[in-house]
Amino acid sequence: MESPSSASPISTLDNRRLGRLMVAGLGHSAASDYLGSVDRESGTPTLVLFIGERLTSDRRRELDDLARTLQGQSIDLIAIVGSFRVHLDDPAAEETERFAVDLFRNAVPGARVIVFRPGHLDSSLKRWAPLWPLFPRWLTTCVLPDAELFAAIDSERREGGNENPQPGPGRTPGRDGRAFTLLGANTAWREALRRHQDRSRSSAVLEMTARVLSWILVGQIIGIAITAMARFRPALRALHVTTLRPRSFRELIALCHARNIDRVRVVGYNNGVHHFGHRYPGKTIVSTVRCGRTLRDGRGYLRADSGATIRAAISRLAETNEELFVVPNYSYVSLGTAFFVPIHGSAVDYATVADTITRVVLYDPDRDRILSADRDDPVFAENLYNLKSRAVVLRLELRTRPRSAYYVRRETVTDATAEQLLDALSDRNAANVEIRQANAASRTVTISRYSTGNDSASGPAMELPRDALGRLWDILEENPITSFLMHATARHVAWHTEIFFNAEEFKTFWRTHADVPLRKIQLRYIRRDGMPHSPFRDEDRVSADLFLFRPDKPRFDAYTAAVLPNVRYNPGKHSN
């Protein structure tokens, strides 16, 4: 492979020594490091171009010059190294990447063009290392070891990145034009910088200065200012990164390929973090809320992107006078979450949202395949409710039904037995059934039977079969301030969990729970579904949604360990 002249302003590297590999650095220090670590003679003829997150006018001219020198040359692969800032709605990073891709695709029409979007490269942090004490512990970002980026580039030079191709059904995303984000671990700045300390006198002086400034909270003030200004200054967003919100499936797949899937936690509306306090050390949250179109394709079913909320689905279906079979009390939940976590209302025929899913489209990062599976497909059963699955839900199809008006008949029962409650919960004549007990010590329970007829009903017709508390939660969620207060209270004051009892476990619980400091108990019935990873795979179960205050949790844990050691919990509805 011929190379442009070493006098080209694009790079200070001596391109004549590179054999089948050409590296252009644009002043990026990682280019020299990559050149020093790579086997230059192996692999397909390749240009590796480090462009970073933004281009000056001079750099654009240099790229134009390079593109002209490459015309007519034999290049199979052009690997452009940009920045993960593309995922932070940074228009400069987006435009830089787009400019480089278009320029070199036109210059070398036969070459395969791919993009790498690394987090902050570890080697780039060295110059800031003495300032580590100044950074607050909560200020985190994505830090990638240089070797991981270099290995990914070399993998693409060999066999298009498919070192261990796995056969299987489904559509493989095309590799030309693909983007591969490599975030690295989500790390506190102070820890990432501390790793690069040296013992020079100048570094020691800077470190001591930073430490003194941290004592008077200068670092905390700077951190707060950065996060506040980042709303208006995209360039600052990379300084504090906790959650990414891709805007398309293409962007979502770029974040969830095999080399990066272990560095992220894919969520929907993110209630696990916001409401239940779930934590994923070292991982960046990837929320699908912006992949949320709902696609109405016919009566009797709804096709929706994974990030669409149940609330959005309800609104979309209302346009054609239809509804979901299952409506939970709180509707700000993404439909994709329902594939991995049991989400339910109180429906009798279909107890969970997942029961109504007839088809799912998944991205499998290990096989780099987009898979479509019907409910009777082994791929569907293999991934449903499987929290160990690395697959990412892209789209779902759900059963729907004509819209109804609901009426509720409530009954208060004193000293109800477990057998009475089981009989009420499994009533097939009602559309929905739920039972509430105000606290464990109460002798009364309220049985609510929802139906589409108003015989013996109390109150006016309802659009959805859920209670006033559920409607209140949705109202609170609509306002950012009340939403924050609701979730913060739940994380720090309350403790939620959901247990799935079989009949015998429920009888034991009902007989023994009176002295447990439970503040709310809500019961529903869920029928056996036979799915291998389902909590209800083998038998019908009673769902008990439990609320208590955090100081009472040790007593509750001691009770379950002694009396109900083998019960199944809902991992998606379990406070940390």
Average pLDDT of the residues in 385-395: 95
Instruction: Give me the amino acid identity at 524.
Output: R
Among the three residues 405, 429, 447, which one is the final residue of a domain in this structure?
405
Residue 284's H or E segment, with its range, is: strand 284-287
Q: What pLDDT sits at residue 438?
A: 92
Task: Give dist(CA 371, CA 481) in Å, integer.
Answer: 40
Q: Strands of 96-176 (E only): list them.
A: 112-118, 120-121, 140-144
Same domain (yes/no): 258, 396: yes
Residues of the domain holding 249: 242-405
Least confident of 127-136, 255-264, 389-398, 425-434: 425-434
Residue (of 399, 394, 398, 423) closest to 411 by Cα position: 423
Mean pLDDT of the chain: 88
User: Is residue 9 in some structural domain?
Assistant: no
Among the three residues 163, 186, 209, which one is the final residue of a domain in this structure?
186
- 134, pLDDT greater than 50: yes
Average pLDDT of the residues in 299-305: 92
Same domain (yes/no): 386, 418: no
Residue 29 — pLDDT band, cuts 50, 70, 90? confident
Q: What pLDDT sits at residue 40?
A: 65
- 471, pLDDT greater than 60: yes
Task: Give dist(CA 377, CA 371) in Å, integer.
Answer: 11
Q: Give the Cβ contact number of residue 486 at 10 Å.
A: 17
User: Is residue 102 in some structural domain?
Assistant: yes
Contact present, 48 and 21 (Cβ < 8 Å): yes
- 13, pLDDT greater than 50: no
User: Is residue 216 in some structural domain?
Assistant: no
Same domain (yes/no): 342, 437: no
Same domain (yes/no): 141, 248: no
Contact present, 207 and 152 (Cβ < 8 Å): no
Same domain (yes/no): 254, 388: yes
User: Is residue 575 in some structural domain?
Assistant: no
pLDDT digits (tens, 9 = 90+) for 237-294: 999 999 999 999 999 999 999 999 999 999 999 888 888 888 999 999 999 999 999 8
Contact present, 525 and 351 (Cβ < 8 Å): yes
How is residue 517 written in tokens?
């400091």
Least confident of 96-110, 307-321, 466-480: 466-480
Q: How many CA atoms lie within 13 A of 106 on its CB side?
A: 11
- 154, pLDDT greater than 60: yes
Same domain (yes/no): 350, 323: yes
Average pLDDT of the residues in 148-173: 73
Contact present, 243 and 142 (Cβ < 8 Å): no
Least confident of 127-131, 163-167, 522-526: 163-167
User: Is residue 213 in some structural domain?
Assistant: no
Same domain (yes/no): 449, 556: yes
- CATH number of 176's domain: 3.40.50.720
pLDDT digits (tens, 9 = 90+) for 554-569: 999 999 999 999 999 9
Same domain (yes/no): 340, 425: no
Between 24 and 18, residue with greater pLDDT:
24
Least confident of 12-21, 91-100, 239-248: 12-21
Same domain (yes/no): 358, 444: no
User: Is residue 542 in some structural domain?
Assistant: yes
Q: What pLDDT sits at residue 346?
A: 60
User: Is residue 449 in some structural domain?
Assistant: yes
Average pLDDT of the residues in 345-356: 81
Q: What pLDDT sits at residue 71?
A: 85
User: Is residue 395 in some structural domain?
Assistant: yes
The highest-confidence range among 9-18, 112-121, 328-337, by mean pLDDT, is 112-121
- 477, pLDDT greater than 70: yes
Same domain (yes/no): 387, 497: no
Residue 370's H or E segment, with its range, is: strand 369-374
Tell whether pTM > 0.75: yes
β-strand partners of 304: 294, 396
Residue 1 — pLDDT band, cuts 50, 70, 90? very low
- 375, pLDDT greater than 90: yes
Average pLDDT of the residues in 417-446: 90
- CATH number of 267's domain: 3.30.465.10
Same domain (yes/no): 177, 311: no
% of the chain surpassing 70 pLDDT: 90
Longest dimension (CA), the chain: 90
Helices (H), 216-300: 218-229, 249-255, 271-274
Instruction: Give me the amino acid identity at 269.
Output: Y
Same domain (yes/no): 256, 119: no
Q: What pLDDT sits at residue 288?
A: 96
